Amino acid sequence: MASELMNVTANALVWISSTLDAPTRAVFFGVPIDGHLVVEVLLVVVILFQLTRKSYKPPKKPLSEKEIDELCDDWVPEPLTPQISEEMIVEPPTLESAAGPHAIVDGKEVVNFASANYLGLIGNENITDSCVGALEKYGVGSCGPRGFYGTIDVHLDCETKIAKFLGTPDSILYSYGISTIFSVIPAFCKKGDIIVADEGVHWAVQNGLYLSRSTVVYFKHNDMKSLEATLEKVTSRSKHPEKVRRYIVAEAIYQNSGQIAPLDEIVKLKEKYLFRIILDESHSFGVLGNSGRGLAEYCGVPIEKIDIITAGMGNALATDGGFCTGSMRVVDHQRLSSSGYVFSASLPPYLASAAIAAVNYLEANSSVLSDLRANIATLLNELSNVPGLVVTSHSLSPIIFLKLKKSTGSDKTDMHLLDSIANQVLKEDSVLIVTTKRSNLDKCPLPIGLRLFVSASHSEADLLKAAASLKRVASLVLS
């Protein structure tokens, strides 16, 4: 049995080897067909067949209506707003009179350091008269956006007046201070553009930068070396300077710290690296410079070198709204592509005429600027030795910023201490000062502190009273 099997196997092997070693049997198209060629061709065919088979995927089953119903029933949304905690219930002081240097809060007269009334124009006769005239002629609202019969001749006059005052070809008015900067930035910066911005810019600028969808790089607050390094890094990376627009965004006087941007150095850097500059002059228009023309006059930079200047008029000019100015191209472009201008009702005409009256007053009485500067100097002098607080704003900034010498480590307790200082100062000494408020949407990394807004119409007694009160309360609370 075994030997027969062995015989059969041996015979089979001999037959296979003889067929495989057999001389060429067939010639096919001039190619001699050996036996092994058949096997190889079969192998290739099998491989190709397997490759063309689809890989196994588990079949997709779309959700049935009943399953969707179940998912919808199971889903529990979060509440629209989080739970209200103690610190959220904050009631600001209610004014019962105009927000001048002396205001009435809760029936008591207080010295008001909370209004950015830098030139003391609140309650000014000229402004009130021009407003009354405008109210009687035009009513209150303008009832339409600028493109649809909302352009009133006072708007055009105001734009010409501001442009002439600053020395630029034209300007454009916006109906609200905060919406100026966050409409201007998306109008000029689109996806793919590069923006280098200061990290201490306020929320409206941050919102504008976010809405523009450009690449934003921040540099250290008011640090020119950091700015140069950032510009160098950004320009070395970008390949097509003629196709990508590049901007530097800075504020003249920073709301969050009271620092003043060194415009002459920024302009030198911008010319070296070919950037355009967007400057927000909300707190420096009507304050800096010999005649109040802003940061460009103060630093001795010709106004043509700054591409886009925006400002809110709710500070020195004691009205509301904002403007933007620059070359003709810059201003014309915004008339159709700036969303806060095109899709919103225009500025109420009485506020535009108040702005014209305010600029006229500033041109005629530039002595009010030296009053303001004297007040700032006096107050800074008095506040140089407050226990526990240190002044960190620039010596010419009308926003005096005080921060804690030693922070407690957490923002919340810092805020608590500063709030108690401000409340005590108001209750006991009738001086209204304010802490910096930060929204939870604000991404500014600068420290919080106390702010005093100095006005040209504060008397020396007011300033001394405020300083004395602050020293007293700070030593009580912070010791």
Query: To the nearest whole angstrom, how small is the minimum distance from the Cβ of residue 37 to another protein?
Result: 53
Query: To the nearest whole angstrom, how small is the minimum distance from the Cβ of residue 73 to another protein?
Result: 9
On whether the CB atoms of residues 210 and 186 are closer than 8 A, the answer is no
Nearer to another protein, 426 or 463 (CB): 426
Query: To the nearest whole angstrom, how small is the minimum distance from the Cβ of residue 43 to another protein?
Result: 44
Q: Which stretch binds another protein (CB under 8 A): 6-14, 311-319, 361-369, 399-407?
A: 311-319
Q: Which stretch binds another protein (CB under 8 A): 30-38, 40-48, 49-57, 336-344?
A: 336-344
List of residues 6+ apart from 115 with CB closer than 8 A: 99, 100, 103, 122, 453, 455
User: What is the per-residue DSSP string for 163-177?
Assistant: HHHHT-SEEEEESSH
On whether the CB atoms of residues 375 and 463 are closer than 8 A, the answer is yes
Site for another protein in 450-469 (CB under 8 A): 453
Distance CA 376, CA 405 (A): 21
Among 150, 200, 258, 292, binds another protein (CB under 8 A): 150
Residue 17 burial by Cβ neighbours in a 10 Å radius (0-12, 13-18, 19+):
exposed
Among 111, 184, 200, 203, binds another protein (CB under 8 A): 203
Among 285, 350, 361, 401, binds another protein (CB under 8 A): 350
Nearer to another protein, 333 or 465 (CB): 333
The CB-side HSE value for 449 (13 A sphere, CA atoms) comes to 24
The candidate with the shortest Cα–Cα distance to 248, out of 191, 306, 290, is 306
Cα 196 → chain centroid: 12
Query: To the nearest whole angstrom, how small is the minimum distance from the Cβ of residue 461 to another protein?
Result: 20
Query: To the nearest whole angstrom, how small is the minimum distance from the Cβ of residue 391 to another protein?
Result: 19
Q: Does 413 bind another protein (CB under 8 A)?
A: no
Site for another protein in 35-94 (CB under 8 A): 63, 67-68, 71-72, 75-82, 84, 87-90, 92-94
Among 26, 53, 136, 367, binds another protein (CB under 8 A): 136
Among 32, 35, 144, 445, binds another protein (CB under 8 A): 144
Site for another protein in 417-436 (CB under 8 A): 432, 434
- The b-or-e profile of 372-396 (16+ CB within 10 A means b, else e) is bbebbebbbebbeebebbebebbeb
Q: Does 301 bind another protein (CB under 8 A)?
A: no
Q: Does 343 bind another protein (CB under 8 A)?
A: yes
Nearer to another protein, 217 or 345 (CB): 345
Q: Does 340 bind another protein (CB under 8 A)?
A: yes
- The b-or-e profile of 446-475 (16+ CB within 10 A means b, else e) is bebbbbbbbbbbbeeebbebbbebbbbbbe
Query: To the nearest whole angstrom, how small is the minimum distance from the Cβ of residue 449 to another protein?
Result: 14
User: What is the per-residue DSSP string for 319-353?
Assistant: S--EEEEESHHHHHHHHHH-HHHHSSBPPPHHHHH
Q: Does 415 bind another protein (CB under 8 A)?
A: no
Q: Does 442 bind another protein (CB under 8 A)?
A: yes
Q: Which stretch binds another protein (CB under 8 A): 29-37, 99-107, 293-301, 404-412?
A: 99-107
User: What is the per-residue DSSP string for 63-93?
Assistant: PPHHHHHHHHHH--PPPSSPPP-GGG---PP
Among 25, 108, 329, 427, binds another protein (CB under 8 A): 329
Q: Does 123 bind another protein (CB under 8 A)?
A: yes
Q: Does 396 bind another protein (CB under 8 A)?
A: no
Nearer to another protein, 51 or 327 (CB): 327
Q: Contact letters (x/-) for another protein, 206-235, by CB under 8 A?
A: -x--xx------------------------
The candidate with the shortest Cα–Cα distance to 448, out of 424, 423, 477, 413, is 413
* Beta-strand runs (E) in 252-346: 276-280, 308-312, 322-326
Q: Which residues pair with 248 in a beta bridge?
A: 196, 277
Distance CA 234, CA 37 (A): 63
Q: Does 178 bind another protein (CB under 8 A)?
A: yes
Nearer to another protein, 3 or 439 (CB): 439
On whether the CB atoms of residues 189 and 247 are closer than 8 A, the answer is yes
Q: Scanning the structure block, which residue is given the tokens 């553009």?
A: 193
